[in-house]
Each structure stands twice: as C-alpha cells, then as structure tokens.
Structure 1
Amino acid sequence: MSIACGVGCVVVIGCIRWAWKRCSYIGSDDSEAWPIATMEEFEPIPRICRVILAVYEPDPDHPQYPPSNHYRVNYDNILKRVTYEETQGHSPPYIIYSDHENREIVLAIRGLNLYKESHYKILWDNNLGKQMFDGGYVHHGLLKSATWILSRESETLKMLWMESGKNYNMVFAGHSLGAGIAALLTVIVVNHGDQIGGIPRSNIRCFAVAPARCMSLNLAVKYANVIHSIVLQDDFLPRTPTPLEDIAKSIFCLPCLMFCLCLSDTFMPEDRKLKDPRRLYAPGRIYHIVEREFCRCGRYPPEVRTAIPVDGRFEHIVLSCNATSDHAIIQITNETEKALQILKESGDETATTAPKVPIFDRLQTIEEEHKDALERAISMNILDAVTTTEEEESLEETNIEIKDCQDEDEDALNTLSKP
C-alpha cells in the first residue's frame, strides 16, 4: 500500500512539475538570448504591414481595419488588386503596389479567411515529405499557389522593374497563409530571376508576417538573408508543427489542439525534431516582438529581438490566451509601429554621440550571423544543409545567369534601336 502511495505521489509531483513548466512558459522565452534589432533593419516592417493590411480593405475610402497610426499608403499606387473572383481558389487575394518613396515594388498577399473553402484546400494539399524543392521540403499547396501567382504576374512584375530602371527592390509580403506563399514565391524568384527580367538576389526581399511553417530547416536557414519572418509574442501558427490541415479542422477548438500538441512536444526529443528533414519551419531570419512577461498584468513597451535560429526555432507551443490575438494582422501592425517608435527614440537619445553599432558594422554582423547559422546547421548534421562555400557558389552562378540575361536584353534593345 505504501509503495503504491509513493508511486502515486511521484506521478502526481511529475504531472504538477510538467504542468507548471508548460503553463509558465511564455513566448518571450523563445528569444531571450537573441540580440535586439536595430532601427535601420526593422524600419521597413511596419510599412510593409500597412501594405498587407490594405489587401483586406475592399473600399480604401472607408477602411474597416485602420491601424492606430493610419495607413499612410497611397492608394493611387496600387497598380493591381486581384480579388477572390479572379484567383478562383488558386491563392488568396493580393495587390501589387508601387512605393516610389522607398523604391519598392510590393506584391502583398492576404492571410487565411476562415469563411473561404478554397483557403482550406490550399492548407490541406500537403503530406509530410510530399514536395521536394531546391534540396529541401516545402508545403505542396503553398508552393502551388506561389507558382500560380508567379505565372500570372511575372510579366507585370518584369515590366514594373524594367520601368523603374532596374533600381527598385522587389518585395514579396504576406500574412499567415499569404506569408507562407510569399516566402515560397521568393525562393522561386531567387532561383529563377530571369522570369522577372533577371532581377538579382540583392534586390529581392520577403516579409512573412505571422507565417505558417512552409519549408524545411535547411531552406529556412539558407534563405535567411532574403526572407524575414515577423512573429508577435505568443502567436500560435509559427510554432505549430502539426500538418496545417489539422489546424484548419480544429480551428474552432484551438485550445484543445494546442494542449495535445504540448503533450506531443514534451515527449519528442529535440534531436529527433531537427533530424527529420521533412519537418517544416517558419522561414528565414526571425524578428520576435515581445511585450508581456510572466505573472505581469498588461503590456510593457515592445522589444524586437532578431536571430537566425537553427535549434530552438519556435519549437514550443505557448499556452496563452493571446495565442490567437497575437496572430491578427491589425495587432501586429500596431505593435510594429510602437516598436519602431521606441527604436527611433532610443536612436535620437544617442544622436549626439557615436552609435554603439554603426550601420556598416551591423550589415557585416547580419552577414556573419547568416554564415554562422549555415555552419551550425552543418555541424548539427541537418540533412541537405548547405555550406557557406556552396551558398557563395550558388550566388555566383545566379549572378552569371542574371548577367547573361541582362546582356541578352541589351543586345535585343541595341538591335531594335538600329535603323
């Protein structure tokens, strides 16, 4: 009897300890060791969030979801707005926006619409390990949507980039479902820049806001110098490793799903997660906005942390009442605005003295962080991870191909200009 009581006590204590660890785990724990982002690197993010939010507005003159600091988007520069009727279920709606002030051509894609069956079909069109791409694994349905958008808009984007004198940056952005599509669209364009007039990798950027997990770890690290993911505190989607079809089916009982995932997450060894090449992750470099602390009511001024994590890339589900509200694009937009304002104010305070981290040094640091992440992926035996040498060779090959395309364009123009 005493032995049974002792075993029972051990089990109860173990369960209480597990429950305490899980319930006390908060989103900010994922990035507590990450460095703080600088104002220069974070500056485009609130602006891009406003452009994404504009996709949700059917009537720009009467906005339904105006951010706290207004849109500041010139609706005359929305060159194309593609609706549900035009996409015919192949992708969410999107816009093409020309930002002349910041010299950017932006293709922004809206997020998941719970009332659209076509969005669920995109999410469900995937099985673990179903789709290989560029030496890794990607989400099949999201890749199909990205391919469809590129085949439809490549000529438009090419024309806009040519008209800009090939000086504008090409920005792909999206929220939630659209963020995953935008990330994979970026990977395609980086590898096939000739489809948009030979645009070089250095002119391509992606901002994935609250992204779905869409690519394997080797690809997430490989494209970290092009793709930037933005995650607000406890957002559930970038942390959810389950097949997205299960999320869609359980969306109305999300707390139950998250609790089950916590149990699964607890008993799965970390190295087993990392060594599964089919496991999908949030893409690229991650900017984590944190604003809440454990056992503290309310919010504190948002802090932006950034890194290219290899292990610990949002592997733990957070049991939080804010897990779904932190996924909302309007909430993320408002918090990015606050975070940028804080970064600007801290920059103004040190304006009379030399900055702690000069811009050029920070750019070098970002490059070094990417190389370190690639090397760490190799050292951890991540399947199909590329070395820095292979990455540089890939970039050189891409640049050669792009130069050949540009030479062909110049020859064609010279031929046409001859009498």
Structure 2
Amino acid sequence: MSVCCCGVECVVFIGFSRWLWKRCTYVGSNDSATWPSATPEEFEPVPRICRVILAVYEPNIRNPQFAPPGGYRLNPDWLIKRVTYEETQGRAPPYIIYADHHNREIVLAIRGLNLIKESDYKLLLDNRLGMQMFDGGFVHHGLLKSAIWLLNRESETLKKLWVENGRCYKMVFAGHSLGSGVAALLAVVVVNHGNKLGGIPRNLVTCYTIAPARCMSLNLAVKYADVIQSVILQDDFLPRTATPLEDIFKSLFCLPCLMFLICLRDTFIPEERKLRDPRRLYAPGRMYHIVERKFCRCGRVPPEVRTAIPVEGRFEHIVLSCNSTSDHGIVWIEREAEKALIRMKDSSVETVTSPPRVQRFERLQTIEKEHKDALERAVSLKVPHAETLEKELSEHGNPRSVEAKDLHTLEDKTTEESSRPQPKSIGERATWDELVAKLFKKSELGDLHLHRIQDAVPNSPGSQNS
C-alpha cells in the first residue's frame, strides 16, 4: 500500500512540476509565435490613435501637462468636443470627438478605467454570464448599454461632421482598457445601424481597441475583424483575463493570486469546451501583438508587430510576468508602437521591390482573404452562431446586416434588465449599491475612499466561470 501511495504522490508531483514549469516559462510572445508580421501601412494609424486617446486625459491640449514624448501632434482647433464624467453622469467614460482633416478621419476616443471612479466599477460589473445577446452572439451587458447611450447622445454630432466633410471621412472609434470595450461595441452597433450616422457604409467604420477588454463572444470577435483592430503589448493581462469581466475587478486587488488561480483552472478546461461555449467573451477583431521581450533574453528587444485573426488560442493563457500590468499602460503602448512603426518603415525601405500602391493593394486582398478564412475556420470548429461570409450574404442580402431596431428602445431594454431585482439565493452576488458600500466608504464631505485591500477583497463578488 505504501508503495502505491508513494507512486501516486510521485505522479502528482511530476505532473504539477511539469505544469508549473510550462506556466512559469510561458511568455507573451508565444501567443503570436506563428503569426506573420504586420506591414507599416496597416499599423501606421496605431501610434496616432494612441495619442488621441491620451488627449482625453489632458484637460487642455493647448497647454498640455501630461503629453507623451513628442507631444500629442494634434491640432487644438480640430477638437470638436470634450465630455467629462460630470456630463456622462456615469453612463460612459469621458471621451473626445476630434476631426482629423489631415488623415480624413472623425475620431471618437474613450479613456480607460479610472480606479477612483465608482461609475466605472458599476459599468464594468454590470454583467452576468450569458446575460446580453446582440447580433447573434453574446456581449458584455454594461459595455453595450454604455455604447448605445453614447451613440444616442453623439449621433447628430457625428452625422453632421461626416456629412459636412463630404461623406468620405472614416468614422474611427477608439478606446483604451474599459473604453476599448465601449468603442468596440459602439462600432458594432454603428455597422448595424448606419442610418444613425447618415447611412455611413461599413467600409468607412473603423475601431481601434488598445489593451482591449474581453467584450464579445468568439463568433462576433471574428465576424467584425474587418472593422475592429485590437492592439496588445506583450504580456498585458486584460485581453487574457478569462470571462466574466468581474475577474478584472478582483485582479486590481490581488493580481498575482488571481493569475495563479486562473492558470490552474484553465489547465483543466479543454480547448474544445472553451470554443463551444457561446457565453465566453473574447478580445475583439483582428489582433496586433507588439512583442518586445522573448524567453531567455535579457532586457527588451527591438519591438516587432505580428498580426492575425486567431480563432483557437486567442490570448487564452495568463502570463505570469512582472510586466503584465505595466504592459497595460497606454503610455507604454504608444511608445512601443511608435518604435515598432519606425522600425517597420526602415525595414520596408531597405527591402522594397515594387511600387507601394501595388503592395498596398496586395495586402488589402490578403487581409480580406484572412478574414474569410477565419470565418470558415470558426465554422469548421463548430463555434456557436458562426457563419461564413457566403451564408450571410445569401441570408441577409448584404454582409453582416441585422434587423434594424430603435436604439432608444434597446437602451431602455438593457437598462430595465440591469435594474431588475433578482431573487435571493445562496451564493448570489451583492447588488451594485451593496458592492459599492462594501468597497468604498464616504467621508463627511461626501468623498469616496477605498477600504483597505484586506477588507475589500473578501467581499468582492464571486465570478461565474464558463
């Protein structure tokens, strides 16, 4: 008996040691090891869009206080509108609308999570597993509600700008962190309700999600890969944090513990089960992965950008790295994206063998083919609700169209669902007000202050795993 017990202990020890070694040696560059490199033409807007998002944090871009190296490179006269927390009343993060006449773009940029704003936590936590369906897939309820509210508020402004500039400018939605989820779902809503912006076609709608949140199911993430581009720096934890997004909230307090638990849990979940769970949320669109560190290499290497529309292995593994939180910062992403773009341009000048126009046209054809192949791959893997491009064309008459509904009605419906009381049961999550009361305390002046970490973490809501 003792020999058998000893043998079982050895097997368990060896198995756990092997898992621990694989997890500790897993680096962010492994996620995109087989992806091709991006071209400077397709990656060129990323550093510029990052600077526009950074401008949301700046109270006055005419007299900047927090500008990145080289400045924002924006024309203050082209800033159309700046909206603060007081004006959004907690329905959406602050944002700006910027008319970039040089690049013929109308940009709506949304800032990321503010750690001291109660409204951002409420927006992030306003979701339950499988709660919200949209366009044949599942999306994050709170982020969709915020996107619909934002579109209803700014549709006339955006429509007027687009019409006044000859109906030829691109409509660009961009966001970082929490704002990336709002921007991604806003782009999806606009694609399906183009009449809200004067009938803007799909090919003029673009979205850049920087350090994206996981906000839509896999079929939608692949379906809108021609509209949404996600930019991820090396080991960033947010695109890798498993659904639901409540995990992100808890990670703010005990990130190392959460990472280890998620790694351990995901080890025992088969890839097929993840792919066939329609409620599991993913980072949206085409992925651009900026890689600057590699295994067994000291320090940083010259950044390179890899791109693909992955179906399986879509940033599913948490990276146990001391850079997993710093890689989430928009300042670092802008800096490394700028370095990578300069490096790509220098490399392309040395190796160019054909006129740029031909190269750009060939790359556009490749991107369209990659999107079509990704849709077919999703169908072959039996991803729920996934459809090929030809099937959507035959059923809807035009690619990816959905039944038009009044957005105000949809906003009221999502608001009603989020405010509807739920029956009390064992293990049920606290309401948002109860959660805020547990995590924050009010001073005599009415200011909110976080409780101590050791007091806050045990009272955070439990997560539902897929």
Normalized against structure 1, the TM-score is what?
A: 0.92
For 1:143 and 1:228, the matched residues in 2 are separated by 18
Counterpart in the other structure of 1:125: 126
Counterpart in the other structure of 1:16: 17
> Which range moved further: 83-92 or 249-258?
249-258
C-alpha displacement at 1:248, in angstroms?
A: 1.1
For 1:260 and 1:234, the matched residues in 2 are separated by 17
- The answer to whether the Cα contact below 8 Å between 1:65 and 1:330 also exists between their aligned partners in 2 is no
For 2:166 and 2:360, the matched residues in 1 are separated by 26
Counterpart in the other structure of 1:90: 91
Counterpart in the other structure of 2:214: 213
What does residue range 20-419 of structure 1 map to in structure 2 within 5 Å?
A: 20-351=21-352, 358-393=359-394, 394=396, 396=398
C-alpha displacement at 1:70, in angstroms?
A: 2.3
Counterpart in the other structure of 1:405: none
- The answer to whether the Cα contact below 8 Å between 1:137 and 1:280 also exists between their aligned partners in 2 is yes
> Which range moved further: 345-354 or 92-101?
345-354
C-alpha displacement at 1:354, in angstroms?
A: 6.1
C-alpha displacement at 1:69, in angstroms?
A: 3.1
Q: Mark the CA change 1:380 to 1:245 in structure 2 (over 3 Å): closer, same or farther.
A: same
C-alpha displacement at 1:357, in angstroms?
A: 8.0
Specify the SS of the correspondent of 1:98. Answer: strand
> Which range moved further: 346-355 or 208-217?
346-355
Q: Mark the CA change 1:251 to 1:398 in structure 2 (over 3 Å): closer, same or farther.
A: closer
For 1:217 and 1:208, the matched residues in 2 are separated by 16
C-alpha displacement at 1:68, in angstroms?
A: 2.5
For 1:155 and 1:28, the matched residues in 2 are separated by 43
For 1:395 and 1:95, the matched residues in 2 are separated by 35
Q: Mark the CA change 1:398 to 1:287 in structure 2 (over 3 Å): closer, same or farther.
A: closer
> Which range moved further: 278-287 or 289-298?
289-298
> Which range moved further: 60-69 or 25-34?
60-69
Q: Mark the CA change 1:391 to 1:67 in structure 2 (over 3 Å): closer, same or farther.
A: farther
Specify the SS of the correspondent of 1:301. Answer: coil
- The answer to whether the Cα contact below 8 Å between 2:392 and 2:399 also exists between their aligned partners in 1 is no
C-alpha displacement at 1:215, in angstroms?
A: 0.3
> Which range moved further: 10-19 or 162-171?
10-19
For 1:398 and 1:380, the matched residues in 2 are separated by 20
For residues 209-263 of structure 1, the C-alpha deviation after alignment (integer angstroms, 9 at most, x for no partner) is: 0110000000000000000000001000001113212321341211111111001
For 2:225 and 2:239, the matched residues in 1 are separated by 16
For 1:119 and 1:314, the matched residues in 2 are separated by 24
What does residue range 2-13 of structure 1 map to in structure 2 within 5 Å?
A: 2-13=3-14
Counterpart in the other structure of 1:406: none
Q: Mark the CA change 1:352 to 1:227 in structure 2 (over 3 Å): closer, same or farther.
A: closer
- The answer to whether the Cα contact below 8 Å between 1:57 and 1:64 also exists between their aligned partners in 2 is yes
Q: Supply the RMSD in Å over aligned alpha carbons.
A: 1.9
Specify the SS of the correspondent of 1:358. Answer: helix
Gaps in structure 1 of 5+ consecutive residues:
403-419
For residues 102-156 of structure 1, the C-alpha deviation after alignment (integer angstroms, 9 at most, x for no partner) is: 0000000000011101000011100010000000000000000000100000000
Question: Match for 1:256: what amino acid?
Answer: C
C-alpha displacement at 1:66, in angstroms?
A: 2.2
For 1:79 and 1:92, the matched residues in 2 are separated by 17
Gaps in structure 2 of 5+ consecutive residues:
405-466
Matched-pair identity in % = 70
- The answer to whether the Cα contact below 8 Å between 1:120 and 1:245 also exists between their aligned partners in 2 is no
**Paired positions, count:** 402
Q: Mark the CA change 1:362 to 1:250 in structure 2 (over 3 Å): closer, same or farther.
A: closer
For residues 64-120 of structure 1, the C-alpha deviation after alignment (integer angstroms, 9 at most, x for no partner) is: 432233211112211000001000000000000000000000000000011101000
Q: Mark the CA change 1:55 to 1:373 in structure 2 (over 3 Å): closer, same or farther.
A: same
Specify the SS of the correspondent of 1:385. Answer: coil
Specify the SS of the correspondent of 1:320. Answer: coil
Question: Match for 1:321: what amino acid?
Answer: C
> Which range moved further: 71-80 or 197-206?
71-80
